[in-house]
Structure 1
Amino acid sequence: MTDDTHDIAVVGAGIIGVACALRLARQGLRVVVIDRQAPGHGASFGNAGHLATEQVFPIADLSILKRLPAMLMDPMGPLRLDWKYLPRALPWFTRLLLNLRPAPFRHTVAGLRTLNEHSLGAWHRLLGDIRRPDLLKVDGSLLVFERPESRAAIEALQARMRQQQVPVDFWQAGAVQDVAPQLSPHIQGGLFFPATGHFLDPYRVVRELVDAAASSGVQFLTRQVQGGRLNGQGVALTTDAGALHARRVLIACGAHSAPLTAALTGQRVPLDTERGYHLMLPQEHERLPFPVTSLERKFIMTPMAEGLRLAGTVEFAGLARPPTMARAWQLHRLSDGLFRTPLNADAATPWMGFRPSLPDSLPVIDRACDGKVLLAFGHQHLGLTQAAVTAELVARMASPLTAQGGQLPDLAPYRLSRF
């Protein structure tokens, strides 16, 4: 092994891979980040920008069985399963349903809550380290409802949230109008989550972390990782530009993580992807003070530096099929009636990305193969929220004596061996 071998190769240059790379480099490790795209150009580019610490429940519940026919038949529904992908998705969905039984469901909620409770503090530390705390606005978020008959569901959700110690307040219609006067007067009220925040530009966050990591010696390579193997000195990765050697590897390439995990650890991971869409409205800058989600319409609107981002919907169609961009434009139609005047969609841009999802809704954060392989993937729609705390956990796994972050979650719920 040559002297220029890296201490650790991070496969994946999304928000999680980049945050981990920075933490590892700050601990004195020689780090290289490898991705087939430029940093931040995968799912990290187009997320909703919402630091969603309140989302401690899985995205699905047992009502998914009743919704399955609509998922297959309605291409514009909020939760869609491409019927051509159904045979491949059935084993994953079977495991999802099994994880919705009471005991595993409680396990999932506890695992999500633990990560989310540590997420805001971890982000403050990470942004403070790069002297860019201004990138994050911690001013809360709001879930609104429009139909009087939805009040019971909102109150039940509030009770469940409080049971999980999630900070939440019920707002009457007048309180909603006071803070967001451009919303429709037909809105009945909502739940306000004070311990949440949003990023004015999620891609800018990745770029700032990349710059800080590069200043700390991290090397970034645009390569396609095709496989890998363990050897006596560490890990040999096969790329489209030749072999790359490292003492350890961190697999953090989101929805693309399963093949390399299997190649290096021998463990098959039931990883699939929730294809998420957004529509960016560059003409809308003053509509909302913070992220607002619609209970009935099931999408989120986040104010950003470049306009208003409408995001949401879940589509199961795998990694290979082309995007259904009509789903992104459907978000604009969903906004009709939510405001006093319609949103301006001039020069709007649609986007689709792959959220890495496991059937128990928890990520894999672990070490394997005597510490030669580290894992950080499968954060589903909470990748942005949990990136900073994941980076602290990875740093602790890599260098327990020099890691920062204070009291951190136990890794037991996120182990690879659970599959």
Structure 2
Amino acid sequence: MSSSPSANNLMDQADVAVVGAGIIGVACALQLARQGRRVVVIDPQEPGMGASFGNAGHLATEQVFPIADMSILTRLPGMLMDPMGPLRLDWKYLPRALPWFMRLLLNLRSAPYQRTIAGIRALNESSLGAWQRLLGSIDRTDLLKQDGSLLVFEDADSRAAIEALQARMCQQQVPVELWSAAAVQAAAPQLSERILGGLFFAKTGHFLDPYQLVCALVEAAKDHGVQFLKQRVEDGHIAAQGVSLLTDKGQLSARQVLIACGAHSASLTLALTGRKVPLDTERGYHLMLPQEQQRLPFAVTSLERKFIMTPMVDGLRLAGTVEFAGLDRPPNMARAWQLHRLSQGLFRRDLNAEGATPWMGFRPSLPDSLPVIDQVCDGKVLLAFGHQHLGLTQAAVTAELIAHMTSPRGAPASQGLPALTPYRLARF
């Protein structure tokens, strides 16, 4: 290969074309390259500039429950009427969203709901160990702080809900401790005295900079020969020797393709597999506060206010809220600034918003709250998308699963990877 090979030459020599340069696509590319495969990653943006850039940074292994429960029925009017609410459905998007929401409601029945919990839990229980292995392998364990996270409450009426949640977590074997107000103050003294207590999750953590995490994995992938192409994949079809992809810069081919482009994965999945997946997007917002680097020791979530605050190297990131408005409507950055207003009263001294920057990204969500992780079309198409708000949490274990399913040697038994059955494409 020449020092400046053409895209066509790269693809002709590729074993796997990974479509999507977010945290999941890059982590998968690295693991596949370590098997000796020639890997090319294709994305219209620079690596990590999609949803991976602005996520909350929380390693959310405790979040084993689906994105919604039956209470969503009573909340629907508020979702439509309140543009600043924590769960927002744009009324203009309602006709397109209704089929997805109908499937969501069907998955809230007892049996499918329990299957969803089991599927999320299986991935989450393997996530921390997978991240430890992945970061250790590139000598970047410094990017992850394994110091737990805290869910706090302020209203006396919320105590029953907190205790009920603790019981549900214990039932799912999620490590959780009920903290008193004094325990909260001892661990996070800058929080307001109005906080009455909370739940502490010891087996969680947070990443100090999600974007730098992607960059570190990109550099490791490049060291293993992975090539990155800045192109937009517009279509594709199964060919005799593999997969042919049409991009905005021409026709490319590879022996296998991995679809890992998050909320943008549905059309290529349909083109290659003939399977229409009910993929939608939870539009998530964050507000980055560069003046607030020392406020919190770990990620803190407010039960009543429904958002999370994560300390990072560049400041404090306020994140959360869910908006259903599709991929095409412009962001409503007022929702990002609303996060600062929500923080008021949670600290002894209000947060400094000087120099704050807002952001919006697309979380890929399926109505059963489980991702698609699979190998189809005689092994020519690999799938890794639909992780909703757990993409960062589950990226490393997803990469191990993809590497395991494509490796003739298999993965070491000691890794204890989850069974793939709950994540198969055929469930749709």
Structure 1 distance, partners of 2:293, 2:180, is 25
3-state secondary structure, aligned to 2:384:
strand
| CA distance, structure 2, for counterparts of residue 131 and residue 285 of structure 1 | 24
Does 2:307 correspond to 1:313?
no
Match of 2:93 among 85, 103, 106: 85
Q: How many residues align?
A: 419
Structure 1 residues 12-411: aligned runs within 5 Å: 12-401=20-409, 403=411, 406-411=415-420
1:286-322 Cα deviation digits (max 9, x unpaired): 1100000000000000000000000000000000000
Distance 1:32 1:270, change over 3 A: same
Rounded to whole Å, the distance in 2 between the matches of 1:321 and 1:197 is 33
Residues 74-104 of structure 1: per-residue CA shift (max 9 Å, x gap): 0000000000000000000000011011100
Q: Is the 8 A contact 1:27 1:402 kept in 2?
A: no
> Unaligned regions of 5+ residues in structure 2, if any?
1-7
Tell me how large the CA RMSD over aligned residues is: 1.1
Residue by residue, what CA displacement relative to the aligned partner does 1:361-393 show, whole Å, maximum 9, x if unpaired?
000000110000000000000000000000000
* Aligned partner of residue 341 in structure 1, secondary structure: coil
Deviation (angstroms), 1:172: 0.3
| Structure-1 separation of matches of 2:426 and 2:67 | 23
1:5 Cα deviation after fit: 2.5
Report the residue type matching 1:408 in the other structure: L
The percentage of aligned residue pairs carrying the same residue is 77
SS in structure 1 of the partner of residue 54 of structure 2: coil
**Distance in 1 of aligned mates of 2:376 and 2:28:** 17
Q: Which amino acid aligns with 1:96?
A: L
Rounded to whole Å, the distance in 2 between the matches of 1:400 and 1:303 is: 41
Query: How far off is 1:398 after superposition?
Result: 1.4
My pick for the range that moved more, 311-320 or 56-65, is: 56-65
- Which residue does the alignment assign to 2:3? none
> What TM-score comes out, normalization by structure 1 length?
0.99
Is 1:412 the equivalent of 2:412? no
Flag as ranges the 4+ runs of structure 1 deviating above 3 A: 1-4, 402-405
**1:400 offset after TM fit, Å?**
3.8
Q: Distance in 1 between matches of 2:66 and 2:410?
A: 34
TM-score (norm 2): 0.97
Task: Give 3-state SS (helix, strand or coil) of 2:340's partner.
Answer: helix
- CA deviation vs aligned residue, 1:184-223 (integer Å, no higher than 9, x gap): 0010000000000000000000000000000100000000
Whether the 8 Å contact between 1:27 and 1:403 is mirrored in structure 2 is no
In 2, the alpha carbon distance for the partners of 1:312 and 1:379 equals 16
Aligned equivalents of 2:427, 2:77: Cα separation in 1: 31
